[in-house]
Chain A
Amino acid sequence: AQKVTQAQTEISVVEKEDVTLDCVYETRDTTYYLFWYKQPPSGELVFLIRRNSFDEQNEISGRYSWNFQKSTSSFNFTITASQVVDSAVYFCALSENRDGDDKIIFGKGTRLHILP
């Protein structure tokens, strides 16, 4: 069965610190996609990244970076030099795209507080 686990329910760090959000996933498929979404207080889900299962290269986008490791079924997200505007709930998610079915399975989210 497909499952996404975000063990950190809530994290608080002081502004400018680095923070890593953990994500562990389960799937039986060899082809799948992993995502991170941000949900600020306004409520709208903001897409951050999609990664397919065949691409294990780490990715960096500005202060954001992602570490995908198939060996440990993890897709962790790091924010460098955090800012107050990074405060939000962050969701890791999985889609198996089996038989054309690409519904997304979300984790429960990690609420991130960046303290000034």
Chain B
Amino acid sequence: DTGVSQDPRHKITKRGQNVTFRCDPISEHNRLYWYRQTLGQGPEFLTYFQNEAQLEKSRLLSDRFSAERPKGSFSTLEIQRTEQGDSAMYLCASSGELPYNEQFFGPGTRLTVL
């Protein structure tokens, strides 16, 4: 399967713990996006990368959140000192070069903070 993959698919953690998610984009895609989806809502943009450069961060991305894409391939999203409000589905997507290319979404990581 050469689609976008995310790991883990589910994560349950206690409030205050740190968690890290991984996204592997489609191999030739240079743009990578993170979105968050809470129950009953549409996905909300968090941040995106072009190669290893993080080009935009949403105001939703508080100081407790950090994303990296060190070699322009896979990306990690870390949440420090998790709060119950962080419980959500975290979606990763990737796309190729502009002009506009379709974003392909991964299956998501569902985070539950107890």
Contact = CB atoms under 8 A, between A and B. Distances in A.
A50 B102 contact: yes
B108 A44 contact: yes
Given A97-B98, A101-B55, A108 B40 contact: yes
Contacts of B56: 101, 103
Interface string A41-60: 01111010010100000000
A59 to B, nearest CB: 15
Interface in B85-102: 89, 91, 95, 98-102
20 contacts: A33-B100, A37-B105, A43-B107, A43-B108, A44-B106, A44-B108, A47-B105, A93-B42, A97-B99, A100-B50, A101-B55, A102-B98, A102-B101, A103-B33, A103-B48, A104-B33, A104-B35, A104-B45, A106-B43, A108-B41
Interface of A: 4, 33, 37, 42-45, 47, 50, 52, 91, 93, 95, 97, 100-109
